[in-house]
Structure 1
Amino acid sequence: MNLPETWVEARLGDVLSRVDTKVDPQTSQTNSHFYIGLEHIESHTGRLLRDAEEVTEGRDILSIKTAFNAGDILYGKLRPNLSKVHLATQEGICSTDIWALRTAECLLPDFALRYLRSPAIYVRAAQLATGANLPRLSADAFDRLPIPLPTLPEQQRIVDVLEQAETFGHSCLATQETLATVLREQYTALFGDVLLNDKSWPVRKISQVSELVRGSSPRPQGDPRLFGGPVPRLMVSDVTRDGLWVNATTDSLTEEGAKSSRSMAAQSVVMAVSGAPGLTAILNHDACIHDGFVGLRDLSADLLPEFVAFTLNLLRAKNDQQAVGAVFRNLTTDQVKAMVIPVPPMEKQEAFREFLSQWQVVQRDIAKSKRLIDELTNELTIDAYSGTLTEAWRVKSASQLAEAAAARGQILRERGTKIALSGKDKVSLTVQTDLTVRPARHWLIPELSQFQRQVLAAFSEFCQQSGQPLLAEDPDVFSRFCDDSIVTDRLQAFGQSQGNRIRRSLSQLAGLGLIAKITLPKQDSDSGERGYLKAFRPLRPEEFTRMVDVQALRKTSLAGVDQQRYYFEVQLDYESSEHAGASGMFQVITVVDEDNEDFIHLVDQGQHYASLDALREGIARSLKVEAWQVDLEAV
């Protein structure tokens, strides 16, 4: 994009200098140090994961470190795709895998900080990093990256606006945390401490209050005769996404496949026993569960599902806090059966259910607000570093900016900086990617995969004929879409049972701005309650005129993530491990990627794994990547 008249383009190396002061903690006269390693900086947010008062004894720090001051920017050069960037608020020492960067007089640290965290930098930095196992960004490559440089007053204006937007996001998070606290306090007021049972309620084992059943899965995995039909199949990702009340929208089975699985009725309590062991939810509708779940059938009449599910989740959290390697690492059916749950009076359970229902309404509204605020913040950031955000402000502050621009020019000349003037050269927020800028979104089409292009064409034709958005979170509606001849004809070359892949492609197309993702109300025909489901629709005419740079940044961000993540579905065998004397552990039967390609060679099929985390680490070692880059879904 063309820079505003009062902006220039510089290079990071022109306006950021590295602190080269080194400290050997072993010989330093200071006995303890405020030490920051890469593990202490949260990815993408830059939040410091240790207290400011927490210090490390010098004798425990074994190598030379870099000293930094308050106001220095700490930038992680190892695995730069993690975007570990923190603005120091006090002096200390840091790992040599972190650069301590000091800004020139013409650059505000807060302005530089947000730019360094943006996809414009971390995506390009990841592309420039070298080293297969431990990719690092060289100083020379970093220094050559461009940065748009407004005057100091305008930088401050941009920082002020972005900080205000970020404050709204922080407020939403704080409100959600407060709501969670209020809910726990209400539970405690009614039922007391569930772990101590300090109100002396009668207690019963899970096996005494329900028929506990283990889920099962049809074989072979991916068989179109068994998978991709109208029967919802619950996945762990559904539970982690939805919380206490869950919709099974990620996967589905045919009627034939459902015969080999385990069906659970609406309002049943289900618990994950692998992937997120102990995580419990209530089904909003009939669904099948696989062998990574157990279900509580025929729940005792003196217990409500809401009380049971919430209590089991509370027990899970407290057990995790109290013990490392507790039973919730993995769960067997016998372990779940032996769990003990209090049975308080029904009137108290009903009071909690009513409170929980009201709480859910408020929580849903806060979550919606948080999503909107995140979208707004992303848009503001893009507008900020292109000059659009402060366009009107520049007009009002013309005389002030002229003087500030002259001062900035003097500073840059003294530093020997070569600058690109505004209006002629262009700074792309995607930073030297191979994107061709055109006046509308259609330039993105050639960048899509063949499958994505066919999904986009089929979706557009389907919506044009139906005249309605596609309600993707309604299993029946989405199944009809996948089975429609418009879709099957276009996707027949890719094989059968592509429901999950179609859903992912629609989300990716929405992320690229090629279709719109919306939320639509849907009223339950039985209860009359109104819910809100995710839907997709084609873009309206006025939506084709938005800024090209927004789409370019989104595409680059998505591409950067895709290049760094690996998605696998794994089929686990607990029975063989149990027969071998390794109860609670599992062996791996299959490993397939999102295209159903076999990757079983990444694991040792003879090994007994204690958890999905252990399996993830093993797969990551085989791939020579970090464990966080591997996402597993137990099926």
Structure 2
Amino acid sequence: MRLPESWRVATVGNVLLDLQPGFAQKPGEEDDGTTPQIRTHNVTPDGKITLEGIKHISASAKETARYKLMMGDVVFNNTNSEEWVGKTAVFNQEGEYVFSNHMTRLRPHPELVTPEYLAFYLHQLWAIGYSKTRAKRWVSQAGIESKAIASFKLSLPTLPEQHRIIDVLRQAQDLRSQKEQVLKLSAELAKALFEQHFGIAGASSAWPMEPFGKHTTYSKYGPRFPDQQYSDSGIHILRTTDMNNDGTIRWWEAPKLALTEGQIQEHALKPGTLVVSRSGTIGPFALFDGQEGRCVAGAYLIEFGLADSVQPEYVRALFATPYVQQMLKKAVRSVAQPNINAPNIQSIKIPVPPLEIQEAFAVQIKQVRAWTSEIVKSASKIDEVIRAVVGEAFSGELTAQWRGMHASEITTATICRDQLLNARGAKTRSPAAEPKPSLPPDVDSERSARHWLLGELSEFQRQVLSTFKAYYEQNDQLPLLVEDPDEFTHFCDDDEVMERLQNFGPALNNRIRRTLSQLSALGLIAKVTLPKQNLESGEREYLKAFRPLREAEYTRLADVATLRKALSSGMTSYYFTVGVDYETSEHAGAGGMFQVTELRDDNDKDCTHLVVDRGKHYSNLDDLVYDIAERLGVSVDQVQLEEV
């Protein structure tokens, strides 16, 4: 992607008058004061300020003066769960407000950037997953420091063009708001039908109250695919953010993954499956009815198969009631990062009316669903248009014709902006020249057996490989610590790295990280673990890093395979690489343990089906060996595992 000539690549810090993190309330004073404080939940997922659930504190005159929000300030969520950190909105409320330490106030320079453009841009970085790559992680939370926020790259058009972009994006938002209003009315009708048939859930003694688990057939956690990126084709991956309050699904927002047929067969949801959010935001749920094709639950969801004793539509409506929502929140096991597990949910007692009453309700509610479905189909087209508009807005494509019609105005505004940026000492870049034709990596010193594999790489993989090698040589041959946010960001923001990869789009950090892992798994670069002192805790941490292969390592994979065959002594040997997930285990209270995300054999065939219990936490690979050996019916000596 090449930006227009009149645009500049700046940083967020270049266009601010002030950047200020907020302050925490004093213990025991919440809701005792009179000053409203904007917190994480006051920035919505669609980038707006909401006063729902606003908290009040007692702020001193000094605190009020320092942390006061003014209309036109940009509010950035600096600390939250990894899924939500980076949400951004323009503050548009009248009155005296302050903001918490989990928020950062960005005050834009009015001659360089409009608040709406800056907020839209930063919120889009959150929406595409870039923000979390700049976060530092600790147990159950992630945070982005002020210095990191200021270093975010910003595609900066002139002020007149920013106003034009915002005008179009506002129209797109208006369309989305109208769509959401119609969907809200549909949800209200479903609620009225439920109360007509069953009364208010939890308040009526007409039906027996039984554990939800009595009416489920199985439960399991959604799988993880850490080394795969979203694509335009494939199967839908259902996330917490794709589920409506009434248990329906916004399919037009759910991303897709190009999974293998084996992965789909193993993980695809069955029609009539209930999925519930298990981490971060507790309460969202959905019923997969199979009408939109196949789907896989995301890693932060729990699947429940429903027994014949309950009608799926009844369960969907029941989980939308205040009673069940309250019971879900009561079952939360952690405060810092809310978590809930399958047994907690299955222990919730639910009213169980006679099946014939449930089925009568289902007939009527399905008619409402059919009407809603027609609305959703129209809504999906609206969202496709909106996504395209947003993507074109920040690349300059959206306003290409407009620039041509306002060339004189753009030229004058470009000169004024550049003079101001230079006066402020900002280091900006003009749009780079078209990227040079990609050259294959230098393989003269590599074994000829590797040539085929290098030829099979995608263009992006080849560019990352050659860029990574060049960066390594220019930086004293030091391994790249990808788990250190500052160091990895420094690599991604390096001018030469950005120039080589700019043709593949903006905000590539996640994609680069996955590609380095893929290159390591292919044996083209080396993955190592290096110690680093944590300045906050004082403890030594061991972080993942990558470096190019040394000459002696070019035959490592072949040598390992030969050694395994030699040691097998005629006995069948099974070798697998294991993808592990420590984060989910940490959230579940099993710190230091892991769950298996993927299992592949020598031929890179997916064998994850050999892990019977995907929700099980393992303390080491030896424990996993026993389970796999038992599943294969072989000795543990015949199974070898390698973590990737």
Q: Which residue of 1 aligns with 2:36?
A: 34
1:73 alignment partner in structure 2: 74
Q: Determine if contact 1:74/1:85 at 8 Å carries over to the other structure.
A: yes
TM-score, with structure 2 as normaliser: 0.50
Shift of 1:587: 13
Cα offsets for 1:282-316 (capped at 9, x unmatched):
8769xxxxx9756534x5xxxx835643464356x
Gaps of 5+ in 1: 222-234, 259-263, 286-290, 429-434, 450-547, 572-584, 606-635
How far apart are residue 123 of structure 1 and its match? 6.7
Classify the secondary structure of the residue corresponding to 1:118: helix
Amino acid at match of 1:86: A
Aligned to 1:318: 323
Return the match for 2:413 from 380, 387, 404: 404
Secondary structure of 1:147's counterpart equals strand
The AA in structure 1 aligned to 2:90 is L
User: Please, which moves more after superposition, 83-92 or 54-63?
Assistant: 54-63
- Which amino acid is 2:400 matched to? E
Contact 1:4 1:387 in 2 (8 A): yes
Shift in alpha-carbon separation, 1:193–1:34, aligned structure 2, 3 A: closer
8 Å CA contact retained: 1:126, 1:137: no
Tell whether 2:172 aligns with 1:165.
yes
Partner residue in 2 for 1:137: 145
- 1:251, distance to aligned residue in structure 2 (A): 12
Q: Is 1:311–1:341's contact at 8 Å kept on the other side of the alignment?
A: no
> Is the 2:22–2:104 contact (alpha carbons within 8 Å) kept by the matching residues of 1?
no
Q: CA deviation at 1:389?
A: 0.8
Cα gap change, 1:64 to 1:554, in 2 (>3 Å): closer
Match of 2:619 in 1: 601
Match of 1:533 in 2: none
Aligned to 1:296: 307
Question: 1:19·1:67 contact (CA, 8 Å) conserved in 2?
Answer: no
Distance 2:144 2:41 in 1: 16
Match of 1:119 among 115, 125, 128: 125
Separation in 1, partners of 2:177, 2:271: 34
Which amino acid letter does the alignment assign opposite residue 171 of structure 1?
Answer: Q
1:243-280 per-position Cα deviation (integer Å, ceiling 9, x unaligned) = 579xxx999999xx99xxxxx9x987889899999979
CA contact 1:271–1:295 (8 Å) conserved in 2: no
1:13 is displaced (CA, Å) by 3.0
Letter in 2 for 1:399: S
CA distance in 1 between counterparts of 2:438 and 2:10 reads 25
3-state SS of paired residue (2:191): helix
- The 1:437/1:357 distance shift into structure 2, 3 A limit, reads farther
AA aligned to 1:15 is V
- What is the identity, as a one-letter code, of the residue corresponding to 2:16? L
2:92 equivalent to 1:85: no
Matched residue type, 2:92:
T
* Alpha-carbon distance in 2 for matches of 1:113, 1:236: 27
What is the CA distance between 1:561 and its match in structure 2? 9.4
Q: Which amino acid letter does the alignment assign opposite residue 190 of structure 2?
A: L
8 Å Cα contact 2:590-2:617 kept in structure 1 = no
Deviation at 1:600, TM superposition (A): 1.7
Q: Which amino acid aligns with 1:390?
A: T
Instruction: Name the structure 2 match of 1:386.
Output: 395
What amino acid is aligned across from residue 111 of structure 2 in structure 1? E
Which residue is 1:154 aligned to? Answer: 161
> Conserved in 2, the CA contact under 8 Å of 1:68 and 1:92?
yes
Q: 1:22 to 1:397 in 2, by over 3 A?
A: same
In structure 2, the residue matched to 1:108 is 114
The answer to whether the 8 A contact 1:68-1:100 is kept is no
CA contact under 8 A between 2:23 and 2:99: conserved in structure 1?
no
Give the aligned length: 440
**What residue in structure 2 maps to residue 55 of structure 1?**
56
Work out the percentage of aligned pairs sharing the same amino acid. 18
Equivalent of 2:505, from 530, 552, 559?
A: 552
TM-score, normalised to structure 1, is 0.51
Residues 117/559 of structure 1: CA separation in 2 closer, same or farther (3 Å cut):
farther
Q: Which residue number in structure 2 is paired with residue 592 of structure 1?
A: 596
Structure 1 counterpart of 2:182, from 175, 180, 191? 175
* Cα distance in 2 between the residues matched to 1:587 and 1:121: 29
1:409 CA drift (Å): 4.5
Q: Confirm or deny: 8 A CA contact 1:169 1:373 kept in the other structure.
A: yes
* 2:441 matches 1:444: no
What is aligned with 1:529?
A: none
**Pairwise CA RMSD of aligned residues?**
6.3
Compared CA separation, residues 252 and 405, structure 1 to 2 (3 A)? closer
